[in-house]
Chains A and B, each alone.
Chain A
Amino acid sequence: MTSIDHFLKSKPPLWMRGDINYGDIIMSTRIRLARNLTGFRFPRAFSDEEALQIDKLVSSAIIDEENNLDVPFSYFSLHDMPALQRQVLVEKHLISPQLANKTKMGSILVSEDETISIMINEEDHIRIQCLQPGLQLDKAYHLADEMDRLLEEKLPYAFDDSFGYLTSCPTNTGTGLRASVMMHLPALTVTNQMGPLINTMARLGMVVRGIYGEGTEATGNYYQISNQITLGKPEEDIILDLQSVAEQIVQKEIGARRALLEHASIAVSDRLNRSLGVLQYARILSSEEAANCLSNVRLGIDLGLIPPIPDRVLNECMLIMQPGFLQQHAGTTLQANERDVYRASIIREQLQMNNTDSKQ
């Protein structure tokens, strides 16, 4: 079993390494399957004893040498995990904030390459999650489905012929499938097209959420688009619909970027390069400002207005600027104002290292 330190490193995981299927606009794809075991109450109402039994059943079904899995899985209980480590796992999207708070009975199974994680006793008994870079809904679903098949062979799922997979919240009933894509949409945001787009999405049965930032702060022009409806539609259709919506939004974003360049090339270039300046020279950086500047720099590179910086470096900055990672990296707890200073110095360092690398 891999130690927890492996999962706490700031190296961007496989699914954050970009460069694939619309990788400049669609950062990543996520599939989540909600499952429950028959004969047990849901986590919101179950006893400690039930929690323990479910934990044992699920973890032993996955950690089993006879499974012959391509990638090994590790098991961690949230119970004996320090708060900072839990926060880092949330920032890496390996666990949800809800699970991070469930220190009494929550646990996680995570694949060594960090593409698949299985949360035990979150809102449902089992939540299988698969992350992939770029737009790869089919592949992500296929991987999650494989884990699902492995589990269903060994465990009795709560399933009803007419309602499908039974979940604690009826918004997940049916397929239990939530498919999402994380998109970087700076041009649509700056041209005020996101509001109407969000309304249109709702009519198509899709939800748009922000995904980035500290607490409730919305920053960085990143949006997560996912299916709202889980009942009455087969998995393939849910995925196909999201795929086509995501592709259409990509085209809209490309159009908005083109329009920005045509109408205000110098103003856009000024704004984006100023952001690069801030990242290179600022001494105090809030997470909000850092996220916005990183978003602008990414856009600048995509538009050819800023000399290329590898995705790897930008992704690492995005990861490490988050409060949990910063403190993990510093090896000590930091107050918000101390974090802002440390954040600025880390990002400066990252960009300088890249500069010296490219000059050699």
Chain B
Amino acid sequence: MICENCKQRPATITVTQMKNGKKLTRHYCDVCNKQLDHFHLNLDSDEDPNAVQKLFSSWFGTPSWSVQAVPISNTQTKVQNDSCPQCGMTYRKFLEEGKFNCPTCYETFKEQLPQVLKRLHNGAIEHIGKVPGSINESYQMKRQIEALRQDMKSAVEEERFEDAASIRDQVREIEKKLQSGGEESDEH
């Protein structure tokens, strides 16, 4: 196939655009594609703040033409008007700006966040990986207790009562450690 722009070089790139709800497919060579600048390379800085903003408003924001046309339901209005108790950020403002104002925003908008994160991180909504040391310790202990409780349950079911008792002691030991670390244990 020949490039649709210069009609000389072979086309190596397919560009699909949505125009008035119709799908338009174009074929360009690398040279023309660069000149036509469909995929703008950001060259001078680490991150391009504008790109992120555009991305957000086009993905999640209500397009300007639909604001008047479609009445916003009550629940949607509520969600958009909820503001962060620490910094006053609203979800609508976040969609416009693409950035949060404080760590508490994550808690405030945790209902809406998964759909945003999914888009940005290839479907992922949950952190896997490093955990800060101080948090890590109690986090690990809680996980350990959960695992031991499961063991204890199966030991009881299998009538291995001595095992169950020793597991129970282990759980108590860890719970004590958790408490002394300033953490409150919810069971005694």
Q: Residues on A close to B: CB < 8 A?
A: 36, 38-42, 44-45, 96-98, 123, 145, 148-149, 152-153, 156-166, 168-171, 173-175, 192, 194-196, 198-199, 205, 208-211, 213, 215-218, 229-236
B30–A98 CB distance below 8 A: no
Q: Tell me, rounded to whole Å, the shortest Cβ–Cβ distance linking B85 to chain A.
A: 12
Say whether B34 faces chain A, with CB atoms less than 8 Å apart. yes
Residue of B46, B106, B117, B122 touching A98 (CB-CB under 8 A): B46
Contacts of A36 in B (CB 8 A): 103
A239 to B2 alpha-carbon distance, docked (Å):
39
CA distance A228 to B101 in the complex (A): 22
Residues of A within 8 A of B120 (CB): 170-171, 229, 231
User: Assuming the A-B contacts A209-B42, A209-B43, A210-B43, are A164 and B129 also in contact, with contact meaning beta carbons closer than 8 angstroms in the complex?
Assistant: yes
- Chain A residues in 8 Å Cβ range of B125: 162, 231-232
Q: Contact between B102 and A42 (Cβ–Cβ < 8 Å)? A: yes
Q: Which single member of B99, B122, B123 contacts A169 (CB below 8 Å)?
A: B99
B33 within 8 A of A: yes
| CB nearest to A214 among chain B residues | B44
Binary interface encoding of chain B residues 32-51 relative to chain A, with 1 for a CB under 8 A from any of its CBs, else 0? 01100001011111110000
Report whether B127 and A163 are in contact in the complex, using a CB–CB cutoff of 8 Å: yes
CA distance A168 to B102 in the complex (A): 7
Asked if B99 contacts A166 (CB within 8 A), the reply is no
User: Scoring B residues 89 to 131 as 1 if CB is less than 8 Å from chain A, else 0, what string do you get?
Assistant: 1000000001111110011000001001100111111111111
Q: How far is the CA of A157 from the CA of B103 in the complex (A)?
A: 10
- The answer to whether B133 and A152 touch across the interface, beta carbons within 8 angstroms, is yes
* Contact across chains for A231 and B103 when beta carbons are under 8 A apart: no
Shortest C-beta distance, B15 to chain A (Å), equals: 10
Question: What DSSP secondary structure best describes chain B's contact surface?
Answer: loop
Contact between chains at B44 and A173 (CB < 8 Å): no
Q: A166-B103, A166-B106, A169-B98 are in contact. Are A195 and B33 (CB under 8 A)?
A: yes
Q: How far is the CB of A132 from chain B (nearest CB, A)?
A: 18
21 A-B pairs with C-beta separation under 8 A:
A36-B103, A42-B100, A44-B101, A45-B87, A98-B47, A149-B133, A152-B132, A160-B103, A164-B127, A170-B98, A174-B128, A175-B129, A195-B34, A205-B122, A210-B42, A210-B43, A213-B43, A229-B121, A229-B122, A233-B128, A235-B130
Query: 20 other contacts beyond A41-B87, A123-B47, with CB at 8 A cut-off?
Result: A36-B103, A39-B103, A41-B102, A45-B101, A162-B126, A164-B129, A168-B101, A174-B128, A192-B31, A195-B13, A196-B13, A199-B39, A209-B43, A210-B43, A211-B43, A213-B44, A216-B44, A218-B41, A229-B122, A231-B117
Residues of B within 8 A of A166 (CB): 100, 103, 106
Q: Are B101 and A41 in contact (CB under 8 A)?
A: yes
Asked if A174 and B102 sit within 8 Å, CB to CB, the answer is no
A45 to B88, CA, bound (A): 10
CA gap between A213 and B41 in the complex, in Å: 13
Residues of A within 8 A of B34 (CB): 195
- Quick one: given A41-B101, A231-B126, A232-B127, are A174 and B33 in contact (CB under 8 Å)? no
B121 touches A232 (CB 8 A): yes
